[in-house]
Chains A and B, each alone.
Chain A
């Protein structure tokens, strides 16, 4: 199984994860400041900024895209409950 490095820059924690996990599955366990509401890509609470490796996340679904547009989020922003880690990325709370 391929591995990737997911870094939470707000708490300086890097976790080696199997490719395909969602950011939400890791961030709560290590106590990053990314917080969640609906947990299903609908509310926008979990907006995060992708500082590095934004091509290494799964591309946003139609629903996620819609929420990101409503939030008027810039292109390096994603929903942590939706984005899957496919390669090395560095993220922090928006």
Chain B
């Protein structure tokens, strides 16, 4: 439990802005995929302009009462002219249906991509909602101040946007720059050490979208910043720009090699799939402009392999078929890849089998499901590979390597060949 008491009224964070979120100190697991050692906060904000009050995001449904109490401490419902939703995830839209009942005049400001999600998520009829889709370059006037919108898709939902209050140099960043960390003192210069929580949140939530993070940073970096107000964890008022720099560092590829890289992972009980792996390795290594590596999954941990795969251009997975399936270490590796972006990488599968040989096809489907492209059909060899079959493995490796280095000639195929 926590020893600090949580204030139950709104907390001012700048001239025009109050924090009206909720504290959830007892939460230990979030979205099934994240842990938190000391809970989280759902940060919602209220902006008071001369011509209207804006609410930026809400809270998880169970915390609605806490949110309304804080809201009521600084504004009346009939003053609310608009509600900005930086993304529609339920931890920030849970209190929205009730808020709309209390402030039916309010207009929703959401991204274009959020439109089709409104209905599915809020169980509200699209036609009854007053909403305006916005994107970079759009803004809304509150009299003495304006909210400007920035299209920052996939951070971490497709509909994510950020909202900037220029007059106060304040960025409402949504989950970007957020973390699961609950501390009643709220501001980054007052709370406990949240560096681990910040990096952990990034690693699990933003990491798959590094490319989009870099695009978003390019949009956000030119802004003057006194304060970043994310939807979870501390409000960043001390050196806010540091967090942008940190995100840039975390999202920039570490790769030093200029060549393309191909990683071969295999697992083998009797050495047959291992022999295939080494022949593929030899074949691929004959092609210039490609750096090839080979790893036995039995000798490694999943985490560092995930790091390697994130920066590789292609992966080849070798597994025998055991009881009609690929073996668990291969599936464990594949199921750990959800935190990295695999789109467009080359994938391939191979393996030795006894009588049915399902594993290779299963891995190929999984690779496609993970959005890799699979340009060379998988290679299966019955039991112990012969010299001739090992030569086939070499050719398979070479073909893959050529596809990756674009050394393969322009191809013309007929429907019947594929």
If A33-B344, A35-B343 touch, does A28 touch B411 (CB 8 Å cutoff)?
no
With beta carbons under 8 angstroms apart, the residue of B343, B344, B371, B375 that contacts A30 is: B375
Flag if A70 contacts B116 (CB, 8 Å): yes
In the complex, the chain A residue whose C-beta lies closest to that of B113 is: A70
Flag if B375 contacts A18 (CB, 8 Å): no
With beta carbons under 8 angstroms apart, the residue of A12, A32, A45, A66 that contacts B373 is: A32
A71 sits at the interface (CB 8 A): yes
CA distance A29 to B368 in the complex (A): 10
Residues of A within 8 A of B374 (CB): 28, 31
Residues of A within 8 A of B135 (CB): 72
Interface size class for chain B?
20 to 34
If A13-B413, A14-B413 touch, does A26 touch B376 (CB 8 Å cutoff)?
no
Residues of A within 8 A of B371 (CB): 35-36, 45
Within 8 A of B (CB), among A43-67: 43-45, 66-67
In the complex, the chain B residue whose C-beta lies closest to that of A30 is: B418
Interface size class for chain A?
20 to 34
Residues of A within 8 A of B112 (CB): 69-72
Q: How far is the CB of A45 from chain B (nearest CB, A)?
A: 8
B332 sits at the interface (CB 8 A): no
Residues of A within 8 A of B411 (CB): 12-14
With beta carbons under 8 angstroms apart, the residue of A16, A29, A44 that contacts B414 is: A16
CA distance A15 to B414 in the complex (A): 5
In the complex, the chain A residue whose C-beta lies closest to that of B373 is: A31
With beta carbons under 8 angstroms apart, the residue of A15, A28, A44 that contacts B415 is: A15
Q: How far is the CB of A90 from chain B (nearest CB, A)?
A: 13
- Taking beta carbons and an 8 Å cutoff, which residues of A are in contact with B? 11-18, 21, 26, 28-33, 35-36, 43-45, 66-67, 69-72, 93
Enumerate 7 A-B pairs (CB-CB under 8 Å) in ascending A order. Answer: A12-B409, A15-B412, A21-B415, A29-B418, A30-B375, A31-B375, A31-B376
